Structure 1
Amino acid sequence: MSESFAPQWRKPGRLEALGPAFFTSLQPAPVPAPHWVATSTSTARWMQLSRDWLASDEALQVLSGNAVAAGSQPLASVYSGHQFGVWAGQLGDGRAILLGETEQGHEVQLKGAGRTPYSRMGDGRAVLRSSIREFLCSEAMAALGIPTTRALALIGSPLPVARESLETAAVVTRVAESFIRFGHFEHFAARDMQAELRTLADLVIDQHYPECRSAEALAGNAYANFLQAVSERTARLLAQWQAVGFCHGVMNTDNMSILGLTIDYGPFQFLDAFDPGHICNHSDSQGRYAFNRQPQIAYWNLYCLGQALLPLIGDEELTIAALESYKSVFPAAYAAQMLAKLGLPANAPDTEPTQGRFALLVNPLLQLLADNRVDYTIFFTRLTDAVAQAKEARPDFEPLRDIILDRAAFDAWSLTYSEQLAQVDKAQAVDLMQKSNPRFVLRNHLGETVIRAAQAGDFAPVQQMLAVLQAPYDPHPDHADWAGLPPDWASSIEISCSS
Structure 2
Amino acid sequence: MNAPLSPQAGHRIDQLPLANSFADLPPAHYTALMPTPLSKPYLVCASASAAALIGLDIADANDATFIDIFTGNQILEGSKPLSAVYSGHQFGTWAGQLGDGRAILLGDVPAPAIEPSGRMELQIKGAGLTPYSRMGDGRAVLRSSIREFLCSEAMAALGIPTTRSLCVTGSDQIVMREQRETAAVATRMAQSFVRFGSFEHWFYNEKHDELKTLADYVIANFYPQFKTADNPYKALLTEVTLRTAHMIAHWQAVGFMHGVMNTDNMSILGLTLDYGPFGFMEAFNATHICNHTDQQGRYSYARQPQIGEWNCYALGQALLPLIGEVEETQAALRIYKPAFAEKFQELIRAKLGLQTSQPDDGKLFDRLFEVLHGSHADFTLFFRSLGNVQIDVAASWEPVRDLFIDRASFDSWAQQYSARLKVENSDDEARKLAMHAVNPKYVLRNYLAQIAIEKAQNKDFSEVAKLLQVLEKPFDEQPENEKYAALPPDWANDLEVSCSS
TM-score, normalised relative to structure 1:
0.94
Residue in structure 1 matched with residue 458 of structure 2 by the alignment: 456
Residue in structure 2 matched with residue 293 of structure 1 by the alignment: 303
SS in 2 for 1:188: helix
In 1, Cα distance between equivalents of 2:472 and 2:397: 29
Q: Which runs of 5+ in 1 are unaligned?
A: none
In 2, Cα distance between equivalents of 1:437 and 1:424: 21
Whether the 8 Å CA contact 1:116–1:124 is kept in 2: the answer is yes
Whether the 8 Å CA contact 2:18–2:76 is kept in 1: the answer is no
Whether the 8 Å CA contact 1:77–1:92 is kept in 2: the answer is yes
In 2, Cα distance between equivalents of 1:77 and 1:9: 22
Residue in structure 2 matched with residue 465 of structure 1 by the alignment: 467
SS in 2 for 1:98: strand
SS in 1 for 2:433: helix
SS in 1 for 2:303: helix
One of 27, 34, 41 as aligned partner of 2:48:
41
Residue in structure 2 matched with residue 99 of structure 1 by the alignment: 106
SS in 1 for 2:294: coil
2:87 equivalent to 1:80: yes
Task: Give, in angstroms, the shift of residue 168 of structure 1.
Answer: 0.3
In 1, Cα distance between equivalents of 2:332 and 2:76: 42
Pairing 1:172-211 to 2, within 5 Å after superposition: 172-211=186-225
2:386 equivalent to 1:383: yes
Task: Give, in angstroms, the shift of residue 279 of structure 1.
Answer: 0.5
Task: Give, in angstroms, the shift of residue 55 of structure 1.
Answer: 3.5
Residue in structure 2 matched with residue 401 of structure 1 by the alignment: 401
Residue in structure 2 matched with residue 284 of structure 1 by the alignment: 294
2:16 equivalent to 1:8: yes
2:344 equivalent to 1:334: yes
Change (3 A) 1:3 1:315: closer
Task: Give, in angstroms, the shift of residue 356 of structure 1.
Answer: 2.5
Whether the 8 Å CA contact 1:340–1:346 is kept in 2: the answer is no
SS in 2 for 1:446: helix
Residue in structure 1 matched with residue 360 of structure 2 by the alignment: 356
TM-score, normalised relative to structure 2:
0.94
Query: Deviations along 1:278-298, whole A, 9 cap, x unmatched?
Result: 011111011111110001001
Residue in structure 1 matched with residue 375 of structure 2 by the alignment: 372
Give the residue type in structure 2 aligned to 1:403. L
In 2, Cα distance between equivalents of 1:92 and 1:334: 32
2:251 equivalent to 1:244: no
Whether the 8 Å CA contact 1:149–1:263 is kept in 2: the answer is yes
Change (3 A) 1:202 1:428: farther
Task: Give, in angstroms, the shift of residue 30 of structure 1.
Answer: 0.9
In 1, Cα distance between equivalents of 2:434 and 2:10: 38
Whether the 8 Å CA contact 2:102–2:138 is kept in 1: the answer is yes
Residue in structure 1 matched with residue 131 of structure 2 by the alignment: 117
Give the residue type in structure 1 aligned to 2:142. L
One of 148, 151, 169 as aligned partner of 1:134:
148
Whether the 8 Å CA contact 1:6–1:53 is kept in 2: the answer is no
SS in 1 for 2:354: coil
Task: Give, in angstroms, the shift of residue 53 of structure 1.
Answer: 3.0
Residue in structure 1 matched with residue 75 of structure 2 by the alignment: 68
Whether the 8 Å CA contact 1:37–1:459 is kept in 2: the answer is yes
Task: Give, in angstroms, the shift of residue 56 of structure 1.
Answer: 2.3
Whether the 8 Å CA contact 1:112–1:171 is kept in 2: the answer is yes
SS in 2 for 1:497: coil
Whether the 8 Å CA contact 1:64–1:155 is kept in 2: the answer is yes
Give the residue type in structure 2 aligned to 1:310. L
In 1, Cα distance between equivalents of 2:252 and 2:326: 30
One of 139, 143, 150 as aligned partner of 2:164:
150
Task: Give, in angstroms, the shift of residue 10 of structure 1.
Answer: 4.5
Task: Give, in angstroms, the shift of residue 4 of structure 1.
Answer: 2.9
Task: Give, in angstroms, the shift of residue 325 of structure 1.
Answer: 0.6
Residue in structure 2 matched with residue 27 of structure 1 by the alignment: 34
Give the residue type in structure 1 aligned to 2:389. A
Whether the 8 Å CA contact 1:127–1:168 is kept in 2: the answer is yes
Give the residue type in structure 1 aligned to 2:82. L
Q: Percent identity?
A: 51
SS in 2 for 1:279: coil
Residue in structure 2 matched with residue 227 of structure 1 by the alignment: 237
In 1, Cα distance between equivalents of 2:285 and 2:332: 32
Alpha-carbon RMSD across the aligned residues, in angstroms, is 1.5
SS in 1 for 2:70: helix
In 2, Cα distance between equivalents of 1:476 and 1:280: 28
Query: Deviations along 1:233-266, whole A, 9 cap, x unmatched?
Result: 0000000000000010000000000000000000
2:477 equivalent to 1:475: yes
SS in 1 for 2:99: coil
Count the aligned residue pairs. Answer: 484
Give the residue type in structure 2 aligned to 1:397. W
Residue in structure 2 matched with residue 412 of structure 1 by the alignment: 412
Whether the 8 Å CA contact 1:232–1:326 is kept in 2: the answer is yes
Give the residue type in structure 1 aligned to 2:490. D
Task: Give, in angstroms, the shift of residue 478 of structure 1.
Answer: 2.4
Task: Give, in angstroms, the shift of residue 203 of structure 1.
Answer: 1.1
Residue in structure 2 matched with residue 445 of structure 1 by the alignment: 447
In 1, Cα distance between equivalents of 2:136 and 2:355: 49
Task: Give, in angstroms, the shift of residue 428 of structure 1.
Answer: 4.3
Task: Give, in angstroms, the shift of residue 393 of structure 1.
Answer: 7.0
Give the residue type in structure 1 aligned to 2:120. H
Whether the 8 Å CA contact 2:384–2:441 is kept in 1: the answer is yes
Change (3 A) 1:69 1:87: same
Whether the 8 Å CA contact 1:138–1:148 is kept in 2: the answer is yes
Residue in structure 1 matched with residue 3 of structure 2 by the alignment: none
Give the residue type in structure 1 aligned to 2:463. P
Residue in structure 1 matched with residue 60 of structure 2 by the alignment: 53
One of 298, 303, 319 as aligned partner of 1:309:
319
Q: Which runs of 5+ in 2 are unaligned?
A: 1-8, 112-118
In 2, Cα distance between equivalents of 1:174 and 1:386: 40
In 2, Cα distance between equivalents of 1:181 and 1:365: 35
Change (3 A) 1:10 1:194: farther
In 2, Cα distance between equivalents of 1:88 and 1:196: 20
Change (3 A) 1:439 1:2: closer
2:191 equivalent to 1:170: no
Whether the 8 Å CA contact 2:241–2:336 is kept in 1: the answer is yes
Residue in structure 1 matched with residue 115 of structure 2 by the alignment: none
Give the residue type in structure 2 aligned to 1:341. K
Residue in structure 2 matched with residue 325 of structure 1 by the alignment: 335
